[in-house]
Amino acid sequence: MSNDGPRTYFEIFSLPAKLVIDLPALEESFYALSRKLHPDRFAAKSLGEQAAALAESSRLNDAYRTLKGPIARTEYLLKLEGVELEEQSKSATEAARATGTAKKQIVPEDLLEEAFELNMQLEEMRMARKMGENDPQLRSDLLAAKAGFDARMAATQSELETLWADWDQALDASDAPAKAAARDAMVALLNRRSYLRNLVRDVNEALES
Amino acid sequence: MAYSDKVVDHYENPRNVGTLDKSCGSVGTGLVGAPECGDVMRLQIRVNPQTQVIEDAKFKTFGCGSAIASSSLATEWVKGRTVTEALTISNTDIVKELALPPVKIHCSVLAEDAIRAAIGDWKKKNGVAEEAHAEVAVAS
């Protein structure tokens, strides 16, 4: 990539577009770059240079925040790879419409079934509460469900790390099919994770209220 | 952001909420979701085996007001249509009818997916080929 256009967040830190990142080194590099752009260093410079330094500093902050977070970093890399996470559902619908077949669901069927069932239970619990009832069985079912979803959320982190290693390796080997496979697996994992995250949030809300 | 009157109407008085017997041969069930918002939508249809007319439709949606309104409207629209006609309903029709803002378009996409999935399930159960204009073998 040329230096003429806006640099990617990875390029700002002179890093390859890999996902396994040395976080302490990233932090060090962030502080070093931040010092170079500190407003004090530009106090005597022209307004144009001051504004440019400020803009660069703000982009540096965005870059650091994005690369630091495991999910944000993965989503950013996927975006660089042309994956529009927000658009997948619509594209799959368009494909289904064009071919006249049922749409390929982005989330696995069993997870949808689970999400549906859990929502039914949550609704039941809210209704019971409204009627002034408190069903201890329902509550313990929900607590058990919560523990299960929490564990699966936690597991997505290590699954993601495995995929990062796959991606980095494919990148080093310039292995396009392996890169595509790692990319698709990461997309599927993030989709599953966003469902799990919503389920955990909904169960927590229901248990706390 | 304010919801349009039609969205509010469907949200406050959703049509056709409920369940049809999933195991029944004339019932097609579509369960779909959108990872963007975590919504889940189940839409079911009961199809007359002779005429292929959708005689009843029910839905149950967990999601925002627009998702509920979109699925409620979808059940209203599929009722009385043949499965082939129902397949022509597109998300843009729903967007127009409900005046959905751009950020809520995925809700209408979900409703279209649900119709398609329910019809797909019914076709599978009844051995109808999954093609755009398949000749339909009606089990008599």
Residue B59, SS3 per DSSP: strand
Q: Which residues of chain A neighbour B90 with C-beta distances below 8 Å?
A: 97
Asked if residue A171 has pLDDT above 90, the reply is: yes
**pLDDT value of position A145:** 84
A62-83 tens-digit pLDDT:
999 999 999 999 999 999 999 8
Of the ranges B23-32, B56-65, B125-134, which one carries the lowest mean pLDDT score?
A: B125-134
A29-55 tens-digit pLDDT:
999 999 999 988 888 899 999 999 999
Asked if residue A138 has pLDDT above 60, the reply is: yes
- A144 by Cβ neighbours in 10 Å (0-12 / 13-18 / 19+) ranks as exposed
Asked if residue B2 has pLDDT above 90, the reply is: no
User: What number of CA atoms fall less than 13 Å from residue B15's CA on the CB side?
Assistant: 17
CB A105 to CB B90 under 8 A?
no
**pLDDT value of position A164:** 98
Q: Which residues of chain A neighbour B60 with C-beta distances below 8 Å?
A: 116
B96-113 tens-digit pLDDT:
999 998 888 888 989 999
Q: In whole numbers, what is the pLDDT of chain B averaged over residues? A: 88
Mean pLDDT over A182-199 rounds to 89
Who wins on pLDDT, A126 or A105?
A126
Q: How far is B50 from chain A (nearest CA, A)?
A: 22
Among the partner-chain residues A89, A100, A123, the one whose CB lies closest to the CB of B35 is A89
**pLDDT value of position B133:** 47
- A131 by Cβ neighbours in 10 Å (0-12 / 13-18 / 19+) ranks as exposed
Q: At what angle do helices B91-98 and B65-78 cross, to 10 degrees?
A: 110
Q: Give the integer Cα–Cα distance in Å for A139 and A28.
A: 47
Q: Give the integer Cα–Cα distance in Å for A131 and A125.
A: 10
Q: How far is B43 from chain A (nearest CA, A)?
A: 12
Would you list the domain boundaries of chain B? 5-125
Active site residue B37: yes
**pLDDT value of position B130:** 56
A9-68: CATH topology is Helix Hairpins (1.10.287)
Q: Give the integer Cα–Cα distance in Å for B121 and B138.
A: 15
**pLDDT value of position A87:** 73
Q: How far is B5 from chain A (nearest CA, A)?
A: 25
Among the partner-chain residues A102, A106, A119, the one whose CB lies closest to the CB of B62 is A119
Exposure class string for B102-135: b at 16+ Cβ within 10 A, else e: eebbbbbbbbbbbbbbbbbbbbebbebeeeeeee
Q: Which residues of chain A neighbour B62 with C-beta distances below 8 Å?
A: 115-116, 119, 123
Among the partner-chain residues B35, B42, B116, the one whose CB lies closest to the CB of A191 is B35
Which pair of tokens denotes residue A103?
Answer: 């749409």
Which pair of tokens denotes residue A178?
Answer: 């392996």
Contact B70, A149 (CB under 8 A): no
Rounded (5°) CA angle B77-B81-B86: 70
Which pTM value belongs to this model?
0.74
Give B27's contacts (C-beta < 8 A, 6+ positions apart): B20, B21, B44, B45, B46, B47, B122
CB A89 to CB B34 under 8 A?
yes
CA distances from B93 to A58, A137, B76, B80 (A): 42, 44, 13, 17
Phi-psi region of A149 (alpha: psi -120 to 50; beta: other; left: phi over 0): alpha
Q: Give the integer Cα–Cα distance in Å for A76 and A83.
A: 9
CB B113 to CB A89 under 8 A?
yes
CB B33 to CB A112 under 8 A?
yes
Q: Give the integer Cα–Cα distance in Å for A9 and A13.
A: 7
Asked if residue B132 has pLDDT above 60, the reply is: no
Q: At what angle do helices A136-172 and A109-130 cross, to 10 degrees?
A: 150
CB of A99 within 8 Å of a chain B CB? The answer is: yes
**pLDDT value of position B135:** 46
Asked if residue B73 has pLDDT above 70, the reply is: yes
Q: Which residue of B has its CA nearest to A123?
A: B62
Contact B41, B56 (CB under 8 A): no
Would you list the domain boundaries of chain A? 9-68, 101-208
Give A19's contacts (C-beta < 8 A, 6+ positions apart): A73, A74, A77, A163, A164, A167, A168
Q: In whole numbers, what is the pLDDT of chain A averaged over residues? A: 88
B5-125: CATH topology is Sufe protein. Chain: A (3.90.1010)
Give A24's contacts (C-beta < 8 A, 6+ positions apart): none
- Closest to B121 in 3D by CA, of B24, B12, B6: B24
**pLDDT value of position A2:** 42
Mean pLDDT over B62-90 rounds to 94
ipTM over 0.85: no
Mean pLDDT over A85-110 rounds to 73
**pLDDT value of position B75:** 96
Q: How far is B34 from chain A (nearest CA, A)?
A: 7
Asked if residue B60 has pLDDT above 70, the reply is: yes
CB B38 to CB A103 under 8 A?
no
Mean pLDDT over B88-99 rounds to 93
Where in chain A does DSSP place strands (E)?
none
